Amino acid sequence: MRRHRPTLLAVALPVALFLAVAAWNAAAGKPLLRGDCPYYYATSLSLLQDGDLSLAGQISNSSVHSGQISLDRFGRPVPKHPPLLALAALPFVAAGGETGVLVFNLLQLALLLVVVERLARRFASPWAAAAAVALTGVASFLPAYAWNFSPDVFATLLLTASLLALPAATAPAQDEESEPGERRGDGSPAVTWRHAAAGVLFGLACVAKLATVLLAPAVLLLAGRRLRSLAALAAGVALPLALYGLLNLHLFGSPTVTSYDRIVHREADGVRLHSTREDFHQPLGRGLAVQLLDQRRGLLWTAPLALVALAALPLLARRRPAAALAVAWTALVLLLFYARYDWWWTSEYGNRFLMPAVVLAALPLAALAERVATTPPA
């Protein structure tokens, strides 16, 4: 029990806040399913009730859902969003409907904290890692997503789980509980299987949130250089992506055409199919400025600790340059990508599209926390 105390600290404080946020929203009568959430829920219901992805039985009038559903090659309304989140939540929806959705969402938030805390232990002491993750959980926009059915939490969980599945190239700092396989970067079968598992998890993260594919270099930076391990990683990634391609082939006639390429837009002269690929028009400079400075969604206001943590990347780089580069790549590529996105502001609070960067900022924050704790007073 004693060795799990840091993890309990990392999880208990944020989860208490998550529960308070959920209780407050419930008492205030705020809808749990809003924005994109009703469509993920409708997808779960369609899978449960009809055994397919057609939303015809769940959406009575598709004309009022302009921009939120897609059309497959047979002319049926299907989910605009990848169905993986809806599929993962099926047991919870079957057991409790919207209440089940809330339980699922809170569980995935709690599991995200556990995974990141275990990952942070590779770069700092257990207590420093726990403190960094607890601070990330309470001093960012994560609590706002406790009352939600969040695909961003889901994709971030899969991403961080893929990084944790990779064998550590160095022993976790001051952590006596590390697994034997984490202390070496050899090409043993156990290590190869861990690379394959990491690949599957990363592939699932890409299916859950397509922009996650931009973070492949971050995974490669932590995967080592052995060809056998990299081949296992690539094979793992390919499996969920191939299944997703087959789904697209069935629904849209091509493995490279996704639901985001056939979004229904109702116009005066009829229906037009729109592709999200056409939604990147914002000037880069302005997009970067608003993502940092906007008072409701900018990082400076909604996750300032993440910016402090990113400034501490040199401390992480001293311990593990590859990890520092992975965190830096994640933050930079997501900022640049979504700076051009016309709909970047479609978040309840904070910029949900930057959630992986905010969560992974806990790694340099852990290094900073340990540095502060071990620096003797002047």
| 40-57: pLDDT as tens digits | 999 999 999 999 999 988
* Residue-wise DSSP of 272-288: EEE-GGG-B-S-HHHHH
Query: So what's the pLDDT on residue 174?
Result: 42
pLDDT > 90 fraction of the chain, expressed in percent and rounded: 81
For residues 115-137, give the mean pLDDT. Answer: 96
The number of angstroms, rounded, from the C-alpha of 204 to the middle of its chain's C-alpha atoms is 11
Q: Identity (one letter) of the amino acid at 16?
A: A
Domain range for residue 306? 2-374
Q: What is the pTM of this model?
A: 0.93
CA distances from 81 to 38, 85, 208, 261, 352 (A): 11, 9, 8, 11, 15
Q: What is the model's pLDDT at position 315? A: 95
Predicted confidence (pLDDT) at residue 96 exceeds the cutoff of 90: yes
Domains: count for the chain? 1
Quick one: pLDDT at residue 62? Answer: 54
User: What is the C-alpha separation between 296 and 6, in angstroms, rounded?
Assistant: 32
Q: What angle do CA 295, 39, 29 make, to 5 degrees?
A: 60
Output the six-digit token pair for 327: 């965190």
Q: Which residues lie closer than 8 Å to 149 by C-beta, 6 or more apart? A: 32, 33, 37, 40, 41, 85, 89, 101, 104, 105
For residue 64, what are the CA distances in angstroms to 264, 266, 276, 345? 10, 8, 19, 22
Q: How confident is the model at residue 328 (pLDDT cuts 50, 70, 90)?
A: very high
